[in-house]
Structure 1
Amino acid sequence: MRTGLSRYLLAGILSISPVSLIQADDLPLIANSSSTISLDQEYQLGRTWARMLRGSAPEYGDPLLVNYIDGLLWKIAANSQLQDHRLDLIVLDTPVLNAFAVPGGVVGINAGLFLGAQDEQEFASVIAHELAHLSQRHYAQQLEESRRNTPLLLAGILASILIASADSQAGMAGITSSMAAGQQSSINFTRRNEQEADRIGMLNMVNSGFDPYAMPRMFSRLQRASRFLGQKPPEFLLTHPVTESRIADAENRAGQLTKPAFKQQSYEYQLLKKRVEVHYASDLNQLIKGYQVSASDDQLSAYGLALALIKKGDYDQAEKALAKLPDNLQRHLYIRLTYAELALAAGKHQQALQQMEQLIQLYPDSYPVSQRYAKALSANRQYKKAARILSELSQRFPSNSYIWYELAEAYGLAGNTLGVHEARSEYFLLTGSTDKALRQIDFALREKNLSSSDIARLEERKREAERVREQIKNSL
């Protein structure tokens, strides 16, 4: 029987049976025996959907931000009830505040979540909520519920998710119309799962060292802000409906948990928040003026000012803004990387390389440091070395499409044609463009002086690409 991917994606946008607050080891394994789909099938379906999403919506390429979210995701996942820890993070380049979880361990975070979450605690609460949906396999419950009731138009919902990545208004209109085809019992079922994800998510937050009150605080603040501004609620509230009773229940549950001891907030989150603010600034000059007013009293605004000036191309003033940061921030990795970014943007390539050579010695395993080091190497025409660094990263982070894209560029500059075709084929496979991936593999097979191991490797990748193409075809 053909299993369509679109049937199983409702949990990623509508999530959803209340349980009493209990210890992690005693949490129920939902849909473990009655589910019509295995964990391995979930994994394959999720990876197929991830390819389609990457090919339909732009990803956020800042390695600092991606690396930070990935670390936070794994910190909470380590204290979750996930049976399958094969997670795949996708960070979308959109200011729309949203997050979602897809069967098979795919977690999507919009960069705009940084604009809505006030601090790391609130940001972590969203991740904990989504991981709870995955661990409880809510999508399997929704599947079984839909089979007992009038089926929802899940194929339309799948298309709406993809559209919403680029056009949230159009996507939500599609989701709304698709939901209208379902019965009220299905909608009530999703609300119960939302409440369960809140409760389990808060428990996992505590076990990860976060304040459980951050979750109801996040929901309540977003709800109040949307009402005060007279705008439609943030996308997250539309796909994760919040009511006063739900917030009250979350606050009550948080009060039953032991709040972790106070710990000083690190600078990472707030520095990244400034990077996102600058990235999505609609009026850069106005943002610069605002930062200039507050920079003397707020060192984070001073950092935002430096970033905004770099984006504007005013490199001298940007360097002066960075130089005014206090010593404790001057030593911070993010600031040191920003100095290198400034040097690269200003065309001071040798200076940037020197800065990155120092950092790679201190942080040899850091993804953002290695990525920026490769950029500095390429800027200084050391293409083969840059390709070697990126090749190592591609082995560590095989589902990071940005790394494969940059690796193909580095191979091209280094004159490695075979490497170009192979890196491009991996990039196209990750973004669901299987025909383009197969074309690149065919180009690679035509290269001269291929070894027997080269041919065997390429033939295996061709078979894999054909399998992926068939999976995507059967999922639509």
Structure 2
Amino acid sequence: MLKFTAAKIIMLGLLLLPYQASNATENYNLPLLNDGTSSIVSLDAEYRLGRNWARILRGQAPMLDDPITYQYLEDLLWRLLPNSQVQDRRLELFVLANPSFNAFAVPGGVIGVHGGLIQAAESEGELASVIAHELAHLSQRHYAQRLEEERRNRPLMLAGVLAGILVAAADTQGGMAVLSSTMGATTQNQLAFSRRNEQEADRVGMQTLVNTGIDPHTMPQMFTRLQRTYQFYGQRPPEFLLTHPVTESRIADSLNRASQMPRPQHSTTGIEFSLIKARMDVQFADSADAALRVFRNALEANATAYNRYGLMLAAIANNDFPLAERTRTEMPASLRQHPYVELSRAEALLKSERPADAEAATRNLLSLYPGSRPVRSLHARALRSNGKLNEALREYKSLTRTYPTDALLWFQLAETEGLAGNTLGVHEARIEYFMLTAQLDRALKQIEYARKAKGLPPAASSRLDQREQEAIALRQEMKAQF
């Protein structure tokens, strides 16, 4: 049985301490010109390894079920990507429901952002600087560079590196334990190697910022902010500071480099970052009551878009829907009509058990933003809540065709198929969900259940046969990789 438990992952990480310290979420040098690492690990092999690891990540780490925040980060990623040195642009973004400030890049184009990183940043540029840094690790193929040094230990070594990232993503405390032990066991030579590659990622990432029209000074600003935060953690710093060591010399180097680069003439940043930051501050607040108190006091002191939207979200979290609506109506028209605010109003309508109104609101938004992922997702939810199951099924099926690796969409589709009484549809959606979350034995079990359905159409039987073959082949592949 293929099963990846936290205990096994931690043990694997601890077995690989000397290497993991300098690799735990990225690392390693040299431009991609005349890339010699392809003889060790091809780009295609990296891609398959990364995407299979992503299946484990989906099954082990809590994903942030917030299409609005996901869409914002994906838009930011795709603003940066064309201006980066990344050649293989088959990227997949993961947003984790984790309040620690961390980000990581994994071979094969997997980019992970913890929700807490948005909280740590004070501007979109600071957030973008971290993402640009991680893109640089991918473009320079730092994982593959390390494999060049230690060919004989390659399979176990890389599995250990990925295990360390997974533990940090799924279990903040466990991740700290593994990574802290790793740092203690690292040799000075390996630390120096890590620093060289961190500097390389800083340099390449900063150029990506400039090419995108983002102030390069936001990178040293973010470093300084993270370093100041370090003192509050004592002997247990967050994963990002363990795996991306921020030193005075590194800050000075980035400041010097930024001073030699042009600053953008005009800022392209809107209010979206402030609104998303408010979403994360409510999401990770100690309690809904605490968030409400903070934003109520903040709005009385300063009527910013961040404070207005934050109070609206905090009121929704507290089920105080009259306050949420009053806060929305008192917003300036430009903010009140922002799609994030309109989507949050639809979320409030759903939560207050007004599905017909929620459906009408999302249908209106759909006419304005027909291709919007968060609008389509919320519209599907509204249709289901309003009892329009066939329409909801059409929307969820369309979404899964457009975003086939979104496990949460397959989960929602399975739930909707169940409400509609479509047993075969439930099994097929669950098969996809289990395949995407590395629960391959459970996927095979669902295939077995589906075959027992009476009057199974030949086309469905053929689909099940194909998925069974794919699940068995994937299980063998992942056993060999991990």
* Fold-level similarity (TM above 0.5): yes
- Displacement of 1:306 after TM fit? 1.3
Opposite residue 336 of structure 1, the aligned amino acid is E
- What is the alpha-carbon distance in structure 2 between the residues aligned to residue 243 and residue 443 of structure 1? 56
User: Does the aligned pair in 1 maintain the 2:213–2:268 contact within 8 Å?
Assistant: no
- What is the alpha-carbon distance in structure 2 between the residues aligned to residue 291 and residue 28 of structure 1? 47
User: Does the aligned pair in 1 maintain the 2:414–2:430 contact within 8 Å?
Assistant: yes
Structure 1, 157-166 or 130-139: larger mean CA deviation: 157-166
Matched with 1:390 is 396
Judged with a 3 Å threshold, the aligned counterparts in structure 2 of structure 1 residues 33 and 433 are, in CA distance, closer, same or farther, namely closer
1:68-217 matches, within 5 Å, as 68-147=72-151, 155-217=159-221
Opposite residue 55 of structure 1, the aligned amino acid is G
- Displacement of 1:400 after TM fit? 1.0
Structure 1, 234-243 or 282-291: larger mean CA deviation: 282-291
- Listed as ranges, the gaps of 5+ residues in structure 1 are 20-26
User: Does the aligned pair in 2 maintain the 1:149–1:183 contact within 8 Å?
Assistant: no
- What is the alpha-carbon distance in structure 2 between the residues aligned to residue 184 and residue 29 of structure 1? 28
Identity, % of aligned pairs?
48
Matched with 2:436 is 430
- Displacement of 1:159 after TM fit? 3.5
Match 2:416 to one of 388, 401, 410: 410
Matched with 1:266 is 270
Judged with a 3 Å threshold, the aligned counterparts in structure 2 of structure 1 residues 394 and 96 are, in CA distance, closer, same or farther, namely same
Specify the SS of the correspondent of 2:83.
Answer: coil
Match 2:369 to one of 351, 360, 363: 363
| Structure 1 residue 331 corresponds to structure 2 residue 343 | no
Specify the SS of the correspondent of 2:375.
Answer: helix
Judged with a 3 Å threshold, the aligned counterparts in structure 2 of structure 1 residues 58 and 229 are, in CA distance, closer, same or farther, namely closer
- Displacement of 1:322 after TM fit? 1.6
Structure 1, 185-194 or 106-115: larger mean CA deviation: 185-194
| Structure 1 residue 282 corresponds to structure 2 residue 294 | no
Specify the SS of the correspondent of 1:242.
Answer: coil
Specify the SS of the correspondent of 1:29.
Answer: coil
- What is the alpha-carbon distance in structure 2 between the residues aligned to residue 125 and residue 62 of structure 1? 22
- Listed as ranges, the gaps of 5+ residues in structure 2 are 1-11
| Structure 1 residue 252 corresponds to structure 2 residue 252 | no
Matched with 1:298 is 303
Specify the SS of the correspondent of 1:89.
Answer: strand
User: Does the aligned pair in 1 maintain the 2:180–2:242 contact within 8 Å?
Assistant: no
Matched with 1:343 is 349
Specify the SS of the correspondent of 1:91.
Answer: strand
Specify the SS of the correspondent of 1:101.
Answer: strand
Judged with a 3 Å threshold, the aligned counterparts in structure 2 of structure 1 residues 462 and 294 are, in CA distance, closer, same or farther, namely same
User: Does the aligned pair in 1 maintain the 2:119–2:281 contact within 8 Å?
Assistant: yes
- What is the alpha-carbon distance in structure 1 between the residues aligned to residue 192 and residue 149 of structure 2? 11
Matched with 1:24 is none
Judged with a 3 Å threshold, the aligned counterparts in structure 2 of structure 1 residues 308 and 266 are, in CA distance, closer, same or farther, namely same
- What is the alpha-carbon distance in structure 2 between the residues aligned to residue 174 and residue 230 of structure 1? 17
- What is the alpha-carbon distance in structure 2 between the residues aligned to residue 426 and residue 341 of structure 1? 27
Judged with a 3 Å threshold, the aligned counterparts in structure 2 of structure 1 residues 475 and 253 are, in CA distance, closer, same or farther, namely same
- Displacement of 1:158 after TM fit? 3.9
- What is the alpha-carbon distance in structure 2 between the residues aligned to residue 284 and residue 205 of structure 1? 36
- Displacement of 1:378 after TM fit? 0.6
User: Does the aligned pair in 2 maintain the 1:154–1:178 contact within 8 Å?
Assistant: no
1:260-310 deviation digits (Å, cap 9, x = unpaired): 222253111111111111111103323322211221432321211111111
1:331-383 deviation digits (Å, cap 9, x = unpaired): 10011111111111111111111111111111110000000000110111011
Matched with 1:23 is none
Opposite residue 367 of structure 2, the aligned amino acid is Q
- What is the alpha-carbon distance in structure 1 between the residues aligned to residue 380 and residue 201 of structure 2? 40
Specify the SS of the correspondent of 1:107.
Answer: strand
Matched with 1:451 is 457
- Displacement of 1:457 after TM fit? 2.0
Opposite residue 303 of structure 2, the aligned amino acid is D
Opposite residue 64 of structure 1, the aligned amino acid is I
TM-score by length of 1: 0.91
1:209-255 deviation digits (Å, cap 9, x = unpaired): 21111111101111123336767443211111111111111111112
Matched with 2:8 is none
Opposite residue 135 of structure 2, the aligned amino acid is L
User: Does the aligned pair in 1 maintain the 2:210–2:262 contact within 8 Å?
Assistant: yes
Judged with a 3 Å threshold, the aligned counterparts in structure 2 of structure 1 residues 400 and 150 are, in CA distance, closer, same or farther, namely closer
- What is the alpha-carbon distance in structure 2 between the residues aligned to residue 219 and residue 334 of structure 1? 29
- Equivalent residues, number: 465
Structure 1, 449-458 or 345-354: larger mean CA deviation: 449-458
User: Does the aligned pair in 2 maintain the 1:306–1:318 contact within 8 Å?
Assistant: yes
Specify the SS of the correspondent of 2:112.
Answer: strand
- What is the alpha-carbon distance in structure 2 between the residues aligned to residue 14 and residue 85 of structure 1? 17
- What is the alpha-carbon distance in structure 2 between the residues aligned to residue 62 and residue 95 of structure 1? 14
- What is the alpha-carbon distance in structure 2 between the residues aligned to residue 434 and residue 150 of structure 1? 25
User: Does the aligned pair in 1 maintain the 2:64–2:95 contact within 8 Å?
Assistant: yes
TM-score by length of 2: 0.90
